[in-house]
Amino acid sequence: MAAGAMIAPMACSSKKQGEQSAETVKAAAPEIMPKEMGVQAYSVRDALKEDFAGSMKKIADIGYKFIEGYGLGLDGQLYGMAPSEYSKIVSDLGMELVSCHSSYFTADQALKVIEASQEAGLKHLVIPYLGEELRSDYRKVAENLNQVGELFKGTGVTFGYHNHAFEFEKSNGEIPLEIMLENTDPELVSFEADLYWVKKGGYEPLDLINKYPGRFSLFHVKDANANLDQTTVGEGIIDFQSIFNQKDKAGLEYYFVEDERTDDPFGNLTKAYKHINTLTI
């Protein structure tokens, strides 16, 4: 691993943070996005605890091709194992580990996370959550994301952030996720739009894509019912076809089905797989 790739200078980008342009969208959108589906492994978390490899095989047997893991810690372990071991289990089943969620970390904690991401062969590393103690100053969070993103630059791994609903609760008249989008450098920080949580937060996914084109390299495909509770993908109110129609504008590279309900998780993933295969992507 080149030292320069691991210890990138904290130089300020010449591009204004948060600036959106046609060039940004063009650069963010891949020439060919894989049409195959991915799964966020958290969807089958209980099964993974009982039989990790067997549960991954069930995902592969449904037809999914990409895995987004979770549980990458600051110690460099991924779900309690070496990142390369996790990745090999997935690849031996004909799938690919392309993304992973990690604990929140700062620039001075980034080295082991970067090393683990590269060992696993990741294309994306995502911070999925902010503890309440971090939510008082979203500009400070954005500053940290920029610093971490600078360290990921040149490593082959894109660094990003995943939303929940709390980032849409206004603070001093501002929407926190908009603060984060407008104060992070598109060249350093990507975003994973969880379509369910966007909707739950009172923001339309298409409006988010239109306002911030090129910023969403990943989607979580998760559905909502009329009460905005989670439901099986394809049985709710989210118009996934309209959203996928704007995949190039979003900058989409991969998308992962996620269903956090613990009842019949593999059945839920099977129904989602069948529904998404009816869409044009």
What is the domain-level CATH number for residue 55? Answer: 3.20.20.150
Residue 18 has pLDDT above 50, yes or no: no
Helix axes 110-120, 83-92, angle to 10 degrees: 20
Q: Give me the percent of the chain exceeding a pLDDT of 70.
A: 89
Which residue, 73, 78, 34, 32, is CA-closest to 52?
Answer: 78
* Residue 34, pLDDT score: 76
Mean pLDDT, rounded, for 64-82: 97
Percentage of the residues of the chain whose pLDDT score is greater than 90: 86
- Residue located via tokens 């605890």: 49
Residues with Cβ within 8 Å of 19's Cβ and at least 6 positions away in sequence, in order, are 186
Please report, for residues 32, 64, 180, 277, 280, the alpha-carbon distance to residue 35 in angstroms, rounded to integers and kept in the order given. Answer: 9, 11, 29, 9, 9
The band of 35, judged by pLDDT with boundaries at 50, 70 and 90, is: confident
Average pLDDT, the chain: 91
Distance CA(151)–CA(148), nearest Å, equals: 5
- Enumerate the β-bridge partners of residue 101: 126
Instruction: List 257's β-bridge partners, or say none.
Output: 39, 221
Range of the domain at 81: 31-276
Predicted pLDDT of residue 277 = 96
Position 107 in a domain: yes
**pLDDT confidence of residue 5:** 39
Residue 25 lies in a domain: no
Q: Is residue 7 part of a domain?
A: no
Q: Is residue 188 part of a domain?
A: yes
Mean predicted confidence (pLDDT) in 50-75: 98
25 pLDDT above the threshold of 60:
no
Has residue 126 been placed in a domain?
A: yes
In a domain, 146, yes or no: yes
Q: How confident is the model at residue 57 (pLDDT cuts 50, 70, 90)?
A: very high
Q: What is the mean pLDDT of residues 119-133?
A: 98
Q: Does the pLDDT at position 174 exceed 60?
A: yes
Specify the number of domains making up the chain. 1
**What residues have CB less than 8 Å from 222, skipping those under 6 apart?**
194, 195, 196, 197, 230, 233, 257, 258, 259, 260
Task: Give Cβ neighbours of residue 235 (< 8 Å, ≥ 6 apart).
Answer: 223, 225, 271, 275
**In this predicted structure, what is the pLDDT of residue 3?**
38
pLDDT score at 32 = 62
Question: Are 191 and 157 in contact, with CB atoms under 8 Å apart?
Answer: no
Evaluate whether residue 15 is within a structural domain: no
Say if residue 22's pLDDT is above 70.
no
Tell whether 1 is covered by a domain. Answer: no
Reference 130, options 180, 83, 69, 94; nearest CA is 180
Element housing 266 (H / E): helix 265-276
DSSP for 32-45, written as a single string: S---S-EEEGGGGH
Residue 230, pLDDT > 90, answer yes
